[in-house]
A and B are shown apart, each in its own frame.
Chain A
Amino acid sequence: MKNSQRLALFFLLPSFFFVALFSIFPIVESFRLSFYRMILTLPWLGQRMVGWENYRDLLTDPVALASIRTTVIFIAVTIPLELLFGLGIALVLNEMFRGRGLLRAVVLIPWAIPTVVASQMWRFIFNDRYGLVNFALFGADTSSYLAPLAHPYFALAAIIIAEIWKTTPFAALIILAGLQSIPDDLYEAASVDGATPWQKFRHVTLPLLTPALLLALLFRTIDALRVFDLVFVMTQGGPADATNVLQFYGYKKTFAEGMIGYGSAIAVTVFFMSLVLALAYLRAFKTTRLQGQTP
């Protein structure tokens, strides 16, 4: 018994070393630094403890507040649409038909494409001179072509479209795994009772799918909170901070402006947002399980 404890510890240690050094220590350090004033471009200021000042600044910084709002809008629009499209794709993939394997492989393609590549691709599609979107809207009339990525609302919409395109397959796969875990005899029983397809979906599929949907919701939300690549490539947070999501703002403050303390306060804020969301979903997840909805 003692022996297996020691052995387990010995086997876990190498992985723990990396995770501790490059994830756990950094998060603790970010917390600590968020209470300091430290600016890399002004090294003579040194590292000064300032208590909650960085957080107070955050609450009065209009760019930071707008950034929080943009991030929330981004999540609130992308996630429901991703889950809806994901559910649609999963329902099709769950049917038996010729070419199903091929379609499942095709669905994986947006997922496999590097996000930076997807970002450049959508940037080109929304391009103000040769973009497909402009051609679709205005045909050959180049004088009325728009620059969507230079427009505050359209730029955010473009990033949202690119995000939905790229990540819907992942949501579809999780939902598909949930669909496949629903036993066939439940549908057969419903058929015997004379249920219509819609009734089957509403009273068999949907309740049993809730855990998978919640899981997709959890993973996708936490991931959407970290959106960065699309913003960096497509708009650099612009125009006029209209697409400046939190992770990009934190990056700019920390790495472009060297404001280590303030950047850490942003980082900690993002961390707490994902923590709260994760806990809320995990709670919901547990409740649905407790209600005995999983067979």
Chain B
Amino acid sequence: MKRSVALSFYSIGIALYCLVPFLWFVLTSLKSSAELTAIPPELIPSFHWGFYQSALQNYGLLHYVVNSAIVAGATALITVAIGSLAAYAIARFQLTWTNFYLLLLLVVSMFPQIAIAGPVWTILDRLQWLNTYQGLVAAYIALSLPLAIWILATFFAEVPREIEEAALIDGCSRLQALYKVVLPLAAPGILTAGLLVFIHAWNEFFFALIIMTDPTVQTLPVGIALFPGEYTMPWGEIAAASTIATIPLVVLTLIFQRGIVRGLSAGAVKG
């Protein structure tokens, strides 16, 4: 009995720690201007949608959402496609140099962004890909591939070899065996990898900031970080935009939490 009391006590503490700061921001977004500046602060907002309206109309919030969806979606799809090929080769052939490649990817994933940012900017500049979706997506693919390949290789290694060999005997080519047999069996892993890449791309700020200087192509994090306002910050609008940027991720995380936890620990613990 005592143990369960202690556990509920700790659980509530942890839940408050994780939820309260963000809930406060969500509540702020639902206030009216008067409630926002009130002291003592209003705990319960009047569910005023004014800040959302203003964020949409005056700050072009929808535009940033669309840009983020395009960039993160394209990044996730292409990364998973390219990453699956590599992860399949690593999991199936297990050659000395494919294992070495896996190690190389681990090292690359530890590079600080600033250590590659300048030259990445120059390459995209030469290609005239600055301020384009394909420019940011190309950089994101490169940054996401290490994590995606680590996760996918873990999942592919679990697909029994025999099933695939049966397909090869039945006359499938390696590529056909991959697409028709291995991929469907590894679907949960692919979904997890795609989801993690999507979340990373949706949240990424540093490269989005240096590559997208034109507001029409900027993603949500850049829009939220560079919210215009010199002396009085439009806190209500910032809170509204932040809530909109976060809700899809929280929903995805809650739905796929099992897979995400597994994917994160697969990417980490295998090191």
If A120-B242, A121-B242 touch, whether A7 touches B89 (CB-CB below 8 Å) is yes
Whether, in the assembled complex, A232 has its beta carbon less than 8 Å from a beta carbon of chain B, the answer is: yes
* Complex CA–CA separation, A109 to B116 (angstroms): 30
- What's the nearest-Cβ distance from chain B to residue A275, in Å? 8
Whether, in the assembled complex, A146 has its beta carbon less than 8 Å from a beta carbon of chain B, the answer is: no
If A15-B149, A116-B224, A255-B210 touch, whether A271 touches B123 (CB-CB below 8 Å) is no
A-B contact count (CB 8 A): 279
A226 near B118 (CB under 8 angstroms)?
no
Whether, in the assembled complex, B62 has its beta carbon less than 8 Å from a beta carbon of chain A, the answer is: no
B199 neighbours in A (Cβ, 8 Å):
112
Whether, in the assembled complex, A52 has its beta carbon less than 8 Å from a beta carbon of chain B, the answer is: no
A124 neighbours in B (Cβ, 8 Å):
25, 28, 235, 238-239
Whether, in the assembled complex, B48 has its beta carbon less than 8 Å from a beta carbon of chain A, the answer is: no
By beta carbon, the residue of chain A nearest B36 is A130
B116 near A27 (CB under 8 angstroms)?
yes
Which A124-150 residues have a C-beta within 8 angstroms of B?
Answer: 124-125, 127, 129-130, 132, 135, 139-140, 142
If A107-B18, A116-B221, A132-B24 touch, whether A14 touches B86 (CB-CB below 8 Å) is yes
Given contacts A250-B117, A251-B117, 7 further A-B contacts (CB under 8 A): A22-B138, A27-B119, A105-B257, A106-B19, A226-B112, A247-B114, A271-B115
Binding site for B on A (CB under 8 A): 4-5, 7-8, 11-12, 14-16, 18-19, 21-27, 29-30, 33, 88-89, 92, 95, 97, 99, 101, 103-122, 124-125, 127, 129-130, 132, 135, 139-140, 142, 165, 169-170, 173-174, 176-178, 212, 215-216, 218-219, 222, 225-226, 228-229, 232-233, 246-247, 250-251, 254-255, 260, 263-264, 266-268, 270-271, 274-275, 278
Counting from the closest, the 5 A-B pairs by CB-CB distance are A22-B142, A26-B119, A26-B116, A11-B89, A177-B265
